[in-house]
Structure 1
Amino acid sequence: NETKIRVIHNGVSDDYFPIKEREELELPFELETYMLFVGSREKYKNFELAVKAVACNRLKLVIVGAPLLAEELDFLQTELGQSNFMEMGRVSNEELNCLYNGAMALLYPSEYEGFGIPVLEAQRAGCPVIAYNASSIPEIIGDTPLLLDVLSIESITKCFNVLKIKKEREDIIYKGIENAKRFTWDRMYEQVIALYKEVWEKIKKK
């Protein structure tokens, strides 16, 4: 019964925000020359596709998450070359915010997500997000031309090309920041308390 279901979204940390003096950031590569991949690399995350798309477009890749496996490292060296990717490992929120701020975009072609927190972290930081139009992503990402209807190098390349247009990029960043404002811990807290009060009032009337 849908009338008995309420959706209360997660909040996202306010550790993520746009940094004004981005030129002064210490980044693994030059500003807006790299794509960012954040999180685990299980098959459904489509890490290999992300790497191939970056390689085909002669961009660089920064990887945040668990240490690379030997076969992943070999694959990256074959596809990108040692000088075109950087493994950051697990980083602090402060470090991740800097990486979001410096990236061309977060590349997030995951086929399934319970929520997709990196999508909103990136948006809060003013980083465009390229993501697959499936699972929970369309519900949280908001209005964007960077949703992939097909998982392919060609579809990702089209998104890269959109981001090269200054006005398009600025519009995507603005809409992302505004969208991410919907997901705060304060709002989640208020919605949970309101729901408990509503349920309690109904119980008292029985």
Structure 2
Amino acid sequence: MQMRVGIDISAIQYNRGVSRYTSNLVRALYEHKHDVALKLFGASFRQRAVLQTFAKKTCPTALSRILPHPARIMDIVWNQFHVFSPERLLGKMDVFHSWEVQPPLQHAALVSTIHDLAMLRFPKTTDPTVLAMNERSWKYLKKEAKAVIAVSEVTKKDIIELLQIDPSKVFVVHEALTEESQQKVSVERKKELLAFFGLIKPYFLFVGTIEPRKNLKRLIQAWQPMKKEYDLVIAGAAGWENITQEDGLRIVGTVTNEELVALYAGAELLAYPSLYEGFGLPILDAFYHGIPVVTSNVSSMPELAGDAAVLVNPHEVESITIGLKRALEKKSYFTEKGKQRLQQFSWEKAAKQTIEVYRKASDAHRN
């Protein structure tokens, strides 16, 4: 029986990991028209057109309603006052799949995805306003959600431990390689982009926001013995950690999908010794682009990488250095293992598992 499913696509506007999760999941769900009839909801003041274009191009037959309101307004309307159900705009639904703000629902079952709880694990590096909004969201979820999707076993454990949500309501659905990561870039164009960034020497690549939990300061220390032969490239948004510039350290900032593809293709390896991740999409990106991965033996990284990456102790600089050297020495081995590991993740699989969560949530709501 086909379910009527509303889904909040507001996250797409932010060009972050959660954005790619949302866009790729929606694409995959839309292919299951015999199982679900999608209805798209979104809200943005500055990026409303982005959401409208995505809805029209990706799900042309789906009903969509995109409001001209910023996240701050939706937090007030939904998280604080619990008014204005999306059912007024989208009609009858069996399930509504939310993200950062939680709507009041009259008839539909509430399902939400939590990507990580870094805000609670690292509260000192979190914007108090953003933390407060999420705490309101989590409080409502604990009371009203019929199901919560975690993108890893580690995130599921955190949800149960830190939010005290009933374990029977928490389901793990892994993410997969995103469509954005598979953009085709010609050899000549890659050369142009690498030249644009001034990359002449071989280099290690880090991808992510510059913030303390990404462990960049230890990574930079671990790279020091190798900096004569290799540069270190940091690609990602400026966050709330200051990194001192030095010779060989290339901080390229936020990059386009095309630029990121070129950076992966030209790198010797991905250096990703993060202290905490809900999932870790750059690991799958590196597997796809055929470069070895050095990542942490904590949090979700071992769950995602398996034996296809060099796992290091992220708290020990020497361990990271040894890992970088080992990845270079056994580059072909880890490249092949990465390609094999990548096959275990797909958005088709994620869509089927998500639909099963919808069914369980809908059944629980009716009963």
TM range (shorter): 0.7 to 0.9
Match of 1:110 among 274, 298, 316: 274
Contact 1:63 1:87 in 2 (8 A): yes
CA separation of 1:16 and 1:181: change in aligned 2, threshold 3 A = farther
Q: Which has the larger radius of gyration?
A: 2
> Partners in 1 of 2:312 and 2:183 — Cα distance?
25
Look up the SS of the partner of 1:76 in the other structure.
Answer: coil
Tell me the percent identity.
Answer: 32
Q: Distance in 2 between matches of 1:110 and 1:70?
A: 14
2:326 and 2:236 map into 1 onto residues whose CA distance is 27
Candidates 203, 206, 213, aligned match of 1:34:
203
Deviation at 1:2, TM superposition (A): 5.4
Q: 1:16 aligns with which of 157, 181, 205?
A: 181
- Opposite residue 199 of structure 2, the aligned amino acid is F
1:180 pairs, out of 323, 339, 342, with 342
Shift of 1:13: 0.8
* C-alpha distance in structure 2 between counterparts of 1:150 and 1:52, whole Å: 12
**Alpha-carbon distance, 1:200 to partner:** 5.0
CA positional deviation for 1:197: 3.4
User: 1:1-206 to 2 correspondence within 5 Å?
Assistant: 5-17=170-182, 25-26=190-191, 27=194, 28-30=198-200, 33-58=202-227, 59-67=230-238, 71-72=242-243, 75-77=244-246, 81=247, 84-144=248-308, 146-149=310-313, 151-165=315-329, 168-198=330-360, 200=362
2:211/2:239 contact within 8 Å kept: no
Asked if structure 1 preserves the Cα contact closer than 8 Å seen for 2:287 and 2:335, the reply is yes
Q: CA deviation at 1:154?
A: 1.8
The CA distance in 2 between the partners of 1:185 and 1:11, in whole Å, is 6
Length, aligned pairs only: 195
Using structure 2 for the length normalisation, give the TM-score. Answer: 0.47
Q: What letter matches 1:51 in structure 2? A: I
Amino acid at match of 2:171: R
RMSD over equivalenced CA pairs, Å: 3.0
Matched residue of 1:15: which SS? helix
TM-score with structure 1 setting the length:
0.79
The structure-2 alpha-carbon separation of the partners of 1:190 and 1:155, relative to structure 1 and needing over 3 Å to count, comes to same
State the partner residue of 2:101. none
Shift of 1:136: 1.0
User: What is the letter of the counterpart of residue 179 of structure 1?
Assistant: R
Per-residue deviation, 1:144? 3.2
The separation in 2 between residues aligned to 1:107 and 1:56, in whole angstroms, is: 15
Shift of 1:196: 2.7
Q: Which has the higher contact order (CA 8 A, sep 6+)?
A: 1
